[in-house]
Amino acid sequence: MKQTDNHLLTRRQIVLGGVSAALGWLLGGNSALAQIAVKPPGTERRGDVLVCLFLRGGADGLNMVVPYAEDAYYRNRPSLAIPAPNDRRRPANERALLLNDLFALHPALRPLYPLYAEGKLAIVHACGSAERSRSHFEAMSAMERGVAEAKASIGNGWIARHLLSVPRKGSSPLRAVAFSNVLPESLRGITDAVVLQTLSDFRLAMPKSMGITQAEELQHTLREMYAGVDRHGVDQTARDTLQVLQTLQRVDPSRYRPAGGAVYPDSELGRGLKQVAALIKAQVGLEVACLDKGGWDTHVAQGGTAGWMPANLTDLARSLAAFATDMGGAMRHITLIAMTEFGRRVRENSGLGTDHGRAGVMLVLGGGVRGGQVYARWPGLEPHQLEDPGDLRVTTDYREVLAEVVWKRLGNPHIARVFPGANLRRLGVLGLV
Amino acid sequence: MYSTEPPAYKGRGRPKLGSPLRVGGGRGERFSRFIFSKFINRGVQHGKDVKPPCLHPNSHVCRTTLVAHFSARAGWRKVKLSRRECLRFALVAGAGIVAGCQPMLRRAMAPPPLVTGLPARKHLPADVLWLNRVTFGVTLTELDRLAEMGKIAYLEQQLHPNEMGEQWLVRLRLRGFEIFQTAPAELGDLPVPEVLRQLQQHAILRAVYSRYQLHERMVDFWRDHFNVAASKGLCAYYLPQYERDVLRKLALGRFPDLLKATARSPAMLLYLDNYRNRRGVPNENYARELMELHTLGVHGGYTQRDVQEVARCFTGWTVEERFLRPRGTFRFDPAQHDDGEKRVLERHIPAGGGENDGERVLEMLAMHPSTAKHLCKKLCVHFMGHAPDATVHRLSEVYLSTGGDISEVLRELLLSEEFVQSPPAFKRPFDYMVSALRALYALTDGNRPLQEHLEKMGQPLYRWPLPDGYPHGEEAWKGTLLARWNFAIALCANAINGTRVDLPALVGKPPASDALLQTVFCLPPDAPSLRSLRERLHGTLAQQAALILASPQFQWR
């Protein structure tokens, strides 16, 4: 990605500004976004906006992207297996959707099918980390810190290291946003990550009885009070928080209306992605957004084509599809990664669920993605091809995927700093983006 | 309050106190004798003056009041109360209690105004810090108690919580929770959010008002250490029982007992799926978290093989769900237990152990040196924000030599030098909220409006989705500063429904910034740590209080 350091507007920027202003006008006067369609200074785009979605609990990759050509899959999962696309004994809406001669998509992921066909969605199978503890926390911690195994001594997150290794463009306080309760580990290590539950919560609420008419006055005092505190970057956080407050005073996210007729599901993920869309369109300098979707730890009653996990998949697919529709052409400058800490055991357990396994699935969605393919060095599901005690082997290091995105889509050449110690010979081998 | 009409007196003269009741054998009369013997006579023995009813939190005053009214109007000799009179009495008293309790409760929970003007209260900053870390937040009242009792006696009292030692109005308030009066298996009629509302309300009320603050802080500790997320399955319905009979009851006892109680609790069996752990198809979830989180710690020296073996030991540990049995209780199912021999942590467990396999594993794990280290480290972080190696080592030795006695470990930790010398510890949102409520002597019902603030700060209780519990430290929590500021503003502006602060009663009329600082921090207002804050205070009393609670000085302890 070419970097433009001068502040003169290029022809492309002028055209973009004009188009977005026109779009804003078309959307109507009640959209607050229309008022700020022109970028604030210092927020030039370096690379794509990264949306990182973490599926927490270990999503079962084998049922998301089904290796329907493997007999072993059906042998190991007598009750959980998804019927093959050509299985005439089952109704069509229960069959997996054909991707290629080995893989098919879970029917609940149908909303993603057009994106795959258009080449915007790429699937990486049999990928994961080298962490073998099968502990949620260790595996999540390894992935969020961007290391091979959790015992690595590196303490900060990979997204944090990415943001630290590129020169800071402008001073946007909304550079990295996490829609979560607590700061995700992937953003640990930078002081300007902002944790939000909803965008509209992000203001100083002033009850009338307080008698303060000017929020600015209070903000000023708070800024002064926290300026002298130097413990674990709390002063910086306070400063940035106050800055964000001012920024958001110009945007009213509660009145946001999705474009292109997109309908976000009324779920935590749907609401989260809608707010990411609002932030991206508001052009307040968002570089990274982190979201979580929990509920993948399906030890008991996982459900095959209906039930617990399919409900999760439906929400996931509808949310991502709505996001892609809403962003429209702007998807050219957005890359979304959905990842999980590990996949699940090949064999279903007595509770009609699956236990913690090894390799899982990653989804990469964006305008710059070479989609329409399943990227997999498939290890096979026969007993001798599995890793003890019966798990899909990891043949693609999850960092290969992340590194390609960081390098080619986020415009950050410092891969060695983002993923220290990773085997870089393979970088770019996937050709994913 | 009790000024409503008591039963008519038909005798003559002032009644003699304490004279026996002469009543007949009717059912109503037996009832009245019961009433009198139960309440009245006891009150009489106190023999206190009549005071305006129920302005004082001490319970005996109120009882005396009841007697005084009664004795003034009613004769003691040859009293004969008809059933109707008894009912009327009960009705009146009941109405009085209903009408009177709310204000009484409020007054009992909020001590009278403390700092008006600027009295010369001088306390050792070390004592202030000590109390701030032992409790959910130092207050002037607590500091006075400490000064009165001395540190050793105070700590002993804290280590021996006693429900009867709580203020009686607090006890009364805590008695009304439906979730604690119903068996888990019967709770299903309530929606999960209602169970959670009551659980959180109960936790908040205790944390703010309990006399046994150390006990509350330890309950908070175990709630994270043995986290059970309400969001999973039916866990929410088993949480009240789990909290009361396991975490709360054994919070200061021996760790092996607590560990065994959690292992058998339906809440944990459901949360970590052990109820589905069966012979031939073991479920590893509990076995893994047991070693990784509850005992040894992730680098405590166990292998994937150990996880599988421990899972085998716990096969058959399940929750009763058969017809006509006590549903929702622990059950060992021998038919589902893998009775072969096992090898856990290099030790042999012979075949045929049955339920004892699990017991043996728990004992082995509870007294393992890695467990001692893991637990002591977590305790240090919980109370001081970080864990110096030397302290952890010393505490581990105490732990191992006392058979895992939590009270002994706490004694060693809380009376150590480093306890008050270590760097400031960042309050978690729950700590922050409770300390603010305590500092301003707030009257709160701990209900949803308050709970919503806790959620915005990122720590809705019982809702951490992973078995490792809410984290500690600045890195995890600094992202929600804005929510803390908003809470501070809302609290001081009395904009939280069900929660009230009375600042003028607490510190007098403005300018009262010094009194406010002193009340909140229990330090002289010219203390070096408060200097910069003191310079910036301005505006009305509420604004000043909000600034104090929002200040960096109040985020650490």
Å between A300 CA and nearest CA of chain B: 8
- pLDDT at residue number A222: 92
Instruction: List the single range of A182-191, B19-28, B413-422 with lowest mean pLDDT.
Output: B19-28
Averaged pLDDT score across all residues of chain B: 82
- pLDDT at residue number B526: 87
Instruction: List the single range of A28-42, A69-83, A147-161, B107-121 with lowest mean pLDDT.
Output: A28-42
Whose tokens are 């973009």? That residue is A16
pLDDT higher than 50, residue A34: no
Q: For residue B41, count other CB atoms closer than 10 A to its CB.
A: 15
pLDDT higher than 80, residue B174: yes
Better-predicted residue by pLDDT, B307 or B40: B307
pLDDT higher than 80, residue A424: no
SS3 B262: helix
Assess contact for B79 and B96: CB atoms under 8 A: no
Q: For residue B209, count other CB atoms closer than 10 A to its CB.
A: 25
Enumerate residues 6+ apart whose C-beta is below 8 A from B92.
Answer: B4, B5, B6
Better-predicted residue by pLDDT, A115 or B504: A115
Strand partners, A397: A128
B381 reaches A (C-beta below 8 A): no
- pLDDT at residue number B121: 55
Cα separation, B116 vs A314, in Å, equals 61
Strand partners, A121: A365
Question: Quick check: is B31 in a domain?
Answer: yes
Question: Quick check: is B72 in a domain?
Answer: yes
Mean pLDDT of B198-206: 97
Cα separation, A417 vs A156, in Å, equals 12
Same domain, A6 and A90: no
- pLDDT at residue number B50: 32
pLDDT grade for B102, boundaries at 50, 70 and 90 = low
What is the per-residue pLDDT across B124-169, written as a single tens digit (0 to 9) for each?
888 999 999 999 999 999 999 999 999 999 999 999 999 888 988 8
Same domain, A34 and A167: no
Mean pLDDT of A407-417: 92
pLDDT higher than 60, residue A76: yes
* Substitution target from A182, A217, A308 for chain B, most B beta carbons within 10 A: A182
Cα separation, B4 vs B141, in Å, equals 35
Enumerate residues 6+ apart whose C-beta is below 8 A from B372.
Answer: B395, B396, B397, B399, B400, B404
Where b means 16+ CB within 10 Å and e means fewer, A106-141 reads: bbbbbbbbebbeeebbbbbbbbbbebbbbbbbbbbb
| % of chain A beyond a pLDDT of 90 | 60
A195 reaches B (C-beta below 8 A): yes
For A155, nearest residue in chain B (alpha carbons): B475
Å between B203 CA and nearest CA of chain A: 20
Strands A360-366 and A334-340: antiparallel
A131 reaches B (C-beta below 8 A): no
- pLDDT at residue number A206: 83
Question: Quick check: is B378 in a domain?
Answer: no
- pLDDT at residue number B100: 53
CB-based contact B476 A183, cutoff 8 Å? yes
pLDDT higher than 50, residue B557: yes
Alpha helices in B188-318 (DSSP H): 192-209, 213-225, 235-241, 255-264, 266-271, 285-289, 304-313
Tokens linked to A308: 């617990």
pLDDT grade for B122, boundaries at 50, 70 and 90 = low
Question: Quick check: is B204 in a domain?
Answer: no
Mean pLDDT of B280-286: 91
- pLDDT at residue number A172: 63
Question: Quick check: is A157 in a domain?
Answer: yes
Q: What is the CA radius of gyration of chain B?
A: 27
Q: For residue A360, count other CB atoms closer than 10 A to its CB.
A: 30
What is the per-residue pLDDT across B244-257, written as a single tens digit (0 to 9) for each?
999 999 999 999 99
What is the per-residue pLDDT across B486-545, written as a single tens digit (0 to 9) for each?
999 999 999 999 999 999 888 876 567 888 999 999 988 888 889 999 999 888 889 999
Mean pLDDT of A382-404: 94
Q: Which of A58, A7, A125 is nearest to A297 (CA)?
A: A58
Question: Quick check: is B89 in a domain?
Answer: yes
For A189, nearest residue in chain B (alpha carbons): B475
Instruction: List the single range of A299-313, B37-51, B477-491 with lowest mean pLDDT.
Output: B37-51
B28 reaches A (C-beta below 8 A): no
Whose tokens are 């959910």? That residue is B136
pLDDT higher than 60, residue A14: no
Question: Quick check: is A210 in a domain?
Answer: no
Å between B114 CA and nearest CA of chain A: 23
CB-based contact B308 A389, cutoff 8 Å? yes
pLDDT grade for A2, boundaries at 50, 70 and 90 = very low
Instruction: List the single range of A22-36, B196-210, B345-359, B435-449 with lowest mean pLDDT.
Output: A22-36
Count structural domains, chain A: 2
Tokens linked to A108: 């609940």
Q: Which of B185, B235, B167 is nearest to B175 (CA)?
A: B167
Strands A288-293 and A49-55: parallel
pLDDT grade for A210, boundaries at 50, 70 and 90 = confident
Mean pLDDT of A353-374: 95
Question: Would you put residue B346 in left (φ > 0), alpha (ψ -120 to 50) or beta?
Answer: left
| % of chain B beyond a pLDDT of 70 | 79
Assess contact for A399 and A338: CB atoms under 8 A: no
Mean pLDDT of B419-423: 92
Cα separation, A235 vs B556, in Å, equals 13
pLDDT grade for A426, boundaries at 50, 70 and 90 = low
Same domain, A4 and A136: no
Same domain, A26 and A51: no
A263 reaches B (C-beta below 8 A): no
Same domain, A18 and A103: no
Pairs across A and B, CB distance < 8 A:
142
CB-based contact A234 B536, cutoff 8 Å? no
pLDDT higher than 90, residue A298: yes
pLDDT grade for B24, boundaries at 50, 70 and 90 = very low
Same domain, A32 and A73: no
Question: Quick check: is B83 in a domain?
Answer: yes
CB-based contact A231 B424, cutoff 8 Å? yes
Tokens linked to B90: 């009960």
Tokens linked to A255: 């009145």
Query: What letter represents residue B89's amino acid?
Result: F
- pLDDT at residue number A37: 33
Enumerate residues 6+ apart whose C-beta is below 8 A from B222.
Answer: B247, B251, B258
CATH (domain of A124): 3.40.720
CB-based contact A231 B556, cutoff 8 Å? yes
Question: Quick check: is B86 in a domain?
Answer: yes
pLDDT higher than 80, residue B451: yes
- pLDDT at residue number B72: 39
For chain B, the maximum distance between any two Cα atoms, rounded to a whole number of angstroms, is 86
CB-based contact A195 B458, cutoff 8 Å? yes
Same domain, A106 and A7: no
- pLDDT at residue number B327: 87
Question: Quick check: is A402 in a domain?
Answer: yes
SS3 B238: helix
Assess contact for A96 and A83: CB atoms under 8 A: yes
Cα separation, A297 vs A425, in Å, equals 34
What is the per-residue pLDDT across B55-83, written as a single tens digit (0 to 9) for each?
233 333 333 333 334 333 444 444 556 67
Cα separation, A412 vs A409, in Å, equals 8
Whose tokens are 């990411």? That residue is A276
pLDDT higher than 70, residue B236: yes
pLDDT higher than 90, residue B173: no
Q: Which of A106, A57, A88 is nearest to A304 (CA)?
A: A106
Same domain, A19 and A128: no
Cα separation, A297 vs B282, in Å, equals 16
* Substitution target from A153, A219, A234, A348 for chain B, most B beta carbons within 10 A: A234
- pLDDT at residue number A215: 76
Cα separation, B461 vs B468, in Å, equals 13
B388 reaches A (C-beta below 8 A): no
Restricting to A residues 63-122, those with a Cβ less than 8 Å away from any Cβ of B are none
- pLDDT at residue number B107: 52
What is the per-residue pLDDT across A304-320, written as a single tens digit (0 to 9) for each?
999 999 999 999 999 99
Assess contact for B378 and B406: CB atoms under 8 A: no
Chain B CB contacts of A232 under 8 Å are: 426, 473-475, 478
Whose tokens are 């110096």? That residue is B388
- pLDDT at residue number B38: 43
Å between B493 CA and nearest CA of chain A: 5
Nearest CB among A225, A229, A389 relative to B536 is that of A225
Torsion, Cα of B446, B451, B453, B457 (10° steps): 120
CB-based contact A234 B468, cutoff 8 Å? no
Query: Model-level pTM?
Result: 0.69
Which domain range does residue A30 map to?
1-38
Alpha-carbon distances of B30 from B23, B85, B87, B376, rounded to whole Å: 8, 13, 13, 57
ipTM for this prediction: 0.75
Phi, psi (5° rounding) for residue B331? -145, 135
CB-based contact B278 A350, cutoff 8 Å? yes
pLDDT higher than 60, residue B8: no
Mean pLDDT of B75-94: 64
Q: Which of B275, B198, B289, B212 is nearest to B249 (CA)?
A: B212
Report cis status (omega within 30 of 0) of the bond before B511. Answer: yes
Mean pLDDT of A12-38: 42
Question: Quick check: is B9 in a domain?
Answer: no
Averaged pLDDT score across all residues of chain A: 85
pLDDT higher than 50, residue B51: no
pLDDT grade for A80, boundaries at 50, 70 and 90 = very high
- pLDDT at residue number A251: 66
What is the per-residue pLDDT across A250-284, written as a single tens digit (0 to 9) for each?
666 677 889 999 999 999 999 999 999 988 987 77
Kindly provide the residue ranges of all beta strands, DSSP E only, lying in B323-421, ordered along the sequence.
330-332, 342-344, 347-349
Cα separation, B135 vs B133, in Å, equals 6
Q: Distance between alpha carbon B244 and the CA centroid of its chain, in Å?
A: 10
- pLDDT at residue number B191: 93
- pLDDT at residue number A16: 52
Same domain, A164 and A192: yes
Better-predicted residue by pLDDT, B139 or B92: B139
Whose tokens are 């919980």? That residue is B382
Same domain, A48 and A164: yes
Tokens linked to A314: 């439906």
For B284, nearest residue in chain A (alpha carbons): A355
- pLDDT at residue number B116: 43
Count structural domains, chain B: 1
Mean pLDDT of B412-435: 95
Q: For residue B193, count other CB atoms closer than 10 A to its CB.
A: 11
Element (H, E) at B364: helix B356-366
pLDDT higher than 90, residue A115: yes
Strands A176-179 and A193-196: parallel
Same domain, A325 and A255: yes
Alpha-carbon distances of A406 from A189, A276, A323, rounded to whole Å: 18, 19, 21
Which domain range does residue B67 map to?
27-109
Q: For residue A282, count other CB atoms closer than 10 A to its CB.
A: 25
Better-predicted residue by pLDDT, B76 or B396: B396
Cα separation, A53 vs A170, in Å, equals 25
What is the per-residue pLDDT across B487-500, written as a single tens digit (0 to 9) for each?
999 999 999 999 99
CB-based contact A134 B288, cutoff 8 Å? yes
Å between A375 CA and nearest CA of chain B: 30
Enumerate residues 6+ apart whose C-beta is below 8 A from B201.
Answer: B177, B445, B446, B447, B451
Mean pLDDT of B452-457: 86
pLDDT grade for B96, boundaries at 50, 70 and 90 = low
Instruction: List the single range of A191-195, A413-417, A429-433, B66-70 with lowest mean pLDDT.
Output: B66-70
- pLDDT at residue number A235: 84
Same domain, A115 and A253: yes
Whose tokens are 């006695």? That residue is B405
